Structure 1
Amino acid sequence: MADTQPTLSDLAAKITELSETFTRHLRENDVQPPTFAANSPISYSKLTPEMFYIRQMLADALMDMWYLTQGPSESIFNYVHTCMPDAAALNIMNYFDFWSAVPLDGSASYADIAKHTSLPQDVVERVLAHATTLRLFSETEPGKSTSRIQHTSRSAALARSPGLKALVSTILDDAGPPMMVMNQALEKYSCGKPALTKDMSETSFALLHSGGAFGNFANSWDFIENDGEGEKKGWRQRNFVEFMRYLKEIFHLEKAVLDSYDWKAAGKITVVDLGGSGGHDDIALAQAFPDLTITVQDLPEVKPTFEATVPADLKSRVSFMEHDFFKPQPVQADIYMLKLILHDWPDHESVQILQALRPALKPGSRVLFIDYVGKQGETEGSPLPRSIQQMGTATDLRMMALFNAKERPVEAWRDIFRAADERFEIVRLEANPLTFFVVIEAVWRE
């Protein structure tokens, strides 16, 4: 028996029902919904898991309505026609900081924006002509030659949030170009083979950079850390630190870290945070649990951010150490944290990172693994909304392009620990599809 297919009328009724439910929840929880006005809230706050789930179901229904309203062929044509110009316009405006060229409470002329960005005015006008169709900025007098440019809530969000701006840069400017040569990389390195190549020199990123036109970089981490010249050198690394801070903020990683272990019962222990970036989560952890002594390890380029972030009263308990997590671990500690680290490396490299801990491990040492997990595996009852699944599938393709890695389901992490060393005993594995996090606690047994 064929599945019942939704009609436009069915979807309209579903959208009405979900919209009313969602807005009622917002009203009952005193959450102010965004509008397109420049002074609008730039995100929903205090969404409960139930509200988040309803919102994603609504997003799925709206997308189905979008597809059916246009029809199958036209929906594909319209997507293909606009998806790259959409991304290009956003990336250009972000790279040249159109956001700060327009006052949040006023407007700017095209000439003003051209001067601010050092771009030809004709280019500015053409980019903004497309951007305004996406509600990124708007005209004060649409269609008139005297019109000026003002913010919408979408462009204002980027003007107000350095983290969101860093996210756009990292995903579009750093990771975007390699994704557009994935077909060629697959043809060259994986076509006709039983599995995707795992060689980091055979990624889409490596193919893009093989000719030297975009610089000679071994991998995307090398690119992020070393791109640019003079004062500009390493700008992508500084941007990536801000991106990670923002990513941890929107996914509430700080709460996940605080809830990941019984820190109070642990008492006076030492913690090493591998690849801990600017130490934002460690500061919250140290403030909440004064018995902890934490060492944040990362590359030298991150140290200035850490030093500018950590409060003076915590410097005796939260310190920074330059360390490459592929090298043998020099610090003996009670707990080693890996937060959003192994996710971006293929299996072989992930195993190497865990194995590098072995010289410092003592019986009873723990590895606390906290990571994003987009593939939840099989689910009981109804499948997750497609818009939630899409978070994982999009990340999966990005990882393929950059690292020849993949988005792993929860249980695959057991295999990573087992492959690193049989002495890692996983005593706890918890995953929540609505927070996108998996927490694994592994104990070192001799």
Structure 2
Amino acid sequence: MGSVQQDIATLNSLAAQISELAAKMTKQLEADKVPPVTLLADSPIKYERLPGDVFLTRQLLEDALKDMWILSQGPSESVFNYVHMAIPDTSCLNILNQFDFWNAVPVGGQASYEEIAKYTKLPLEVVSRVLDHAITMRFFVKPSPTATSVLHTSRSAALAKDSGLSALVQMVLDETGPPMFLLPEALRRFSQGKPEITKNMKETAFKLCYSGGAWGDYENSWDFIENDGEGEKKGWRQRNFVKFMAYIKDLFGTEGIVLDAIDWKAAGDVTVVDLGGSAGHDDAVLATKFPNLKIIVEDLPEVAPVFEKEFPSDLRSRVSFRTHNLFDPQPVSADIYIMKWILHDWPDVESVKILQALRPALKPGARIVFIDYVGKQEPSEEELPRSIQGFGTATDLRMMALFNAKERPVQAWKEIFKQADERYDVVRVKADPLSFMCVLEAVWRG
């Protein structure tokens, strides 16, 4: 759908388009016997798969629905309504998530406001007011208009059923939300009037948030995630991040991307290092599928207990965990190094340093299997749906707030390897603009 079509769209033309796309999506799902989702608590929490081009159909439908909303409100009132609702909506969701309203209400049952207040340890008035707004967002529903109890909808039930989804809400709203509010001030202080955005990680919106005071003093969001909390609570955000990464693995099907990244069987009996591999979620699948691999998962100390608790015991003879900081010289000489969603979170300077830290361990012919996010696409006449583009541009602004980093197109990733060392030879690149995933293979020619 080109920009000219968008300019001349009317309520009726959009209604027809929405009807057509909804019918097409329904037919595609039914043909593949994908169970439908509803607003009821017993609904599947997501489409178990999106066969064929259903994903693209869904995103085109989202674009049309958003345009319909704008035209139904009018340009001015659509802005007013968005501004009026956006922050209370996100704040309400953050409260529901942080105080675990999800598990205060049994799935398939109901709970009174008093019972929820007792569970969350919040005043009854607060619970009542938060739920009043949550219901407008389709989180929970009253059994009758005058009831002082709620049941789950499919939306709130999803968060009760999937701790990974709850971890994602925590990560995006509570941990990256406050810095994004300070992004205008950070730009005003550190970048306005300059030809380029500052690359200094001490001049980020994150650092404005976390430079002392009630929220503590942390160098960057990773420092915050690893060290926030005291006593047994210390590092709770890192443990939550591991759940988040497990959810992302399922959402994006990263294990399939890893399995297909290279011909693992043809690689032979090799040693693989998974840098920043979290608790080894993808490595368990990789090791099960390819018994020829010996895998070392590297991550921070806070992740080690999760690995020890959750990693399958029958694979431990071939998969081990090692504490390692990405910026320290790599101690393990391996045949293949996996870098999955690592450089995505760092500016160019730090990304180059991470790649350079590998060099002491690299032997000629060593391979780096780089899997990362391509949030910005190369210019093309075939424009992606705005909802797909927005997914990447939203992440781009988040990276700006947290790290003064950015989303990179494929060519930029090649340049990062070249800047790190000319001996990195990028031999293969495969990028999917719909999934935002890029697989790049580099060989060390030292």
Q: Would you say same fold, with TM above 0.5?
A: yes
Find the aligned partners of 1:307 and 1:385 in 2 and give their Cα distance: 43
CA deviation digits over 1:138-194, x for unaligned, max 9? 11112x1x4311100000000000000000000000000010011111111111111
- Equivalent residue number for residue 410 of structure 1: 410
- Equivalent residue number for residue 291 of structure 1: 292
Q: Secondary structure at the match of 2:214?
A: coil
Alpha-carbon contact 1:329-1:358 (below 8 Å) kept: yes
- Establish whether residue 67 from structure 1 lines up as the match of residue 89 from structure 2: no
CA deviation digits over 1:410-440, x for unaligned, max 9? 1100110000000000000110112221000
Find the aligned partners of 1:65 and 1:328 in 2 and give their Cα distance: 54
Deviation at 1:306, TM superposition (A): 1.0
Find the aligned partners of 2:138 and 2:156 in 1 and give their Cα distance: 8
CA deviation digits over 1:300-351, x for unaligned, max 9? 1001111122212211100000010100000000001100000000000000
Find the aligned partners of 2:107 and 2:214 in 1 and give their Cα distance: 38
Q: Give the counterpart of 1:11 among 3, 10, 14.
A: 14
Find the aligned partners of 1:211 and 1:370 in 2 and give their Cα distance: 35
Alpha-carbon contact 2:94-2:169 (below 8 Å) kept: yes
Q: Secondary structure at the match of 2:217?
A: coil
Find the aligned partners of 2:400 and 2:227 in 1 and give their Cα distance: 22
- Establish whether residue 395 from structure 1 lines up as the match of residue 395 from structure 2: yes
Alpha-carbon contact 2:29-2:51 (below 8 Å) kept: no
Find the aligned partners of 1:117 and 1:57 in 2 and give their Cα distance: 39
Find the aligned partners of 1:382 and 1:16 in 2 and give their Cα distance: 24
- Equivalent residue number for residue 97 of structure 1: 100
Find the aligned partners of 1:307 and 1:373 in 2 and give their Cα distance: 32
Alpha-carbon contact 1:298-1:324 (below 8 Å) kept: yes
Find the aligned partners of 1:274 and 1:293 in 2 and give their Cα distance: 14
Q: Secondary structure at the match of 1:270?
A: strand
- Establish whether residue 20 from structure 1 lines up as the match of residue 19 from structure 2: no
- Equivalent residue number for residue 429 of structure 2: 429
- Equivalent residue number for residue 167 of structure 1: 168
Residues 221-240 of structure 1 mapped to structure 2, 5 A cutoff: 221-240=222-241
Residues 370-389 of structure 1 mapped to structure 2, 5 A cutoff: 370-379=371-380, 381-389=381-389
Find the aligned partners of 1:360 and 1:284 in 2 and give their Cα distance: 26
State which drifts further: 205-214 or 260-269: 205-214
- Establish whether residue 76 from structure 1 lines up as the match of residue 79 from structure 2: yes
Alpha-carbon contact 1:279-1:309 (below 8 Å) kept: no
Q: Secondary structure at the match of 1:139?
A: coil
Percent sequence identity is 62
Alpha-carbon contact 1:276-1:339 (below 8 Å) kept: yes
TM-score (norm 1): 0.98
Deviation at 1:382, TM superposition (A): 2.8
- Equivalent residue number for residue 420 of structure 2: 420
CA deviation digits over 1:56-80, x for unaligned, max 9? 0001001100110000000000000
TM-score (norm 2): 0.98
Q: Secondary structure at the match of 2:410?
A: coil
Alpha-carbon contact 2:28-2:51 (below 8 Å) kept: no
Output the amino acid matched with 2:437. Answer: F
Output the amino acid matched with 1:359. Answer: P
Find the aligned partners of 2:232 and 2:282 in 1 and give their Cα distance: 28
Root-mean-square deviation (CA, aligned residues, Å) is: 1.0
CA deviation digits over 1:286-307, x for unaligned, max 9? 0000000000000110011111
Find the aligned partners of 1:231 and 1:211 in 2 and give their Cα distance: 22
Find the aligned partners of 2:68 and 2:172 in 1 and give their Cα distance: 27
Find the aligned partners of 1:216 and 1:98 in 2 and give their Cα distance: 30
- Establish whether residue 267 from structure 1 lines up as the match of residue 261 from structure 2: no
Alpha-carbon contact 1:275-1:325 (below 8 Å) kept: yes
Q: Give the counterpart of 1:36 among 17, 20, 39.
A: 39
Output the amino acid matched with 2:128. Answer: E
Alpha-carbon contact 2:229-2:236 (below 8 Å) kept: yes
Residues 105-124 of structure 1 mapped to structure 2, 5 A cutoff: 105-124=108-127
Q: Structure 2: which 5+ runs fail to align? A: none
Output the amino acid matched with 1:91. Answer: N
Output the amino acid matched with 2:241. Answer: F
Q: Secondary structure at the match of 1:414?
A: helix
Alpha-carbon contact 1:277-1:298 (below 8 Å) kept: yes
| Count of residue pairs the alignment pairs up | 442
Deviation at 1:210, TM superposition (A): 2.0
CA deviation digits over 1:209-235, x for unaligned, max 9? 124221011111111011111111111
Alpha-carbon contact 2:11-2:71 (below 8 Å) kept: yes
State which drifts further: 4-13 or 324-333: 4-13
- Establish whether residue 46 from structure 1 lines up as the match of residue 52 from structure 2: no
Alpha-carbon contact 2:35-2:44 (below 8 Å) kept: yes
Q: Structure 1: which 5+ runs fail to align? A: none
Find the aligned partners of 1:343 and 1:120 in 2 and give their Cα distance: 41
- Equivalent residue number for residue 130 of structure 2: 127
CA deviation digits over 1:38-62, x for unaligned, max 9? 0001001121250100010001001
Output the amino acid matched with 1:363. Answer: P
Q: Secondary structure at the match of 2:202?
A: helix
Find the aligned partners of 2:212 and 2:44 in 1 and give their Cα distance: 45
Alpha-carbon contact 1:200-1:403 (below 8 Å) kept: yes
Find the aligned partners of 1:389 and 1:434 in 2 and give their Cα distance: 9
Find the aligned partners of 1:103 and 1:171 in 2 and give their Cα distance: 25
Alpha-carbon contact 1:199-1:404 (below 8 Å) kept: yes
Find the aligned partners of 1:244 and 1:284 in 2 and give their Cα distance: 15
Find the aligned partners of 2:245 and 2:92 in 1 and give their Cα distance: 23
Q: Secondary structure at the match of 2:371?
A: strand
Deviation at 1:383, TM superposition (A): 0.6
- Equivalent residue number for residue 445 of structure 1: 445
Find the aligned partners of 1:174 and 1:82 in 2 and give their Cα distance: 21
Alpha-carbon contact 1:280-1:309 (below 8 Å) kept: no
Find the aligned partners of 1:160 and 1:373 in 2 and give their Cα distance: 30
Q: Secondary structure at the match of 1:265?
A: coil
Alpha-carbon contact 1:89-1:127 (below 8 Å) kept: yes
Find the aligned partners of 1:410 and 1:80 in 2 and give their Cα distance: 34
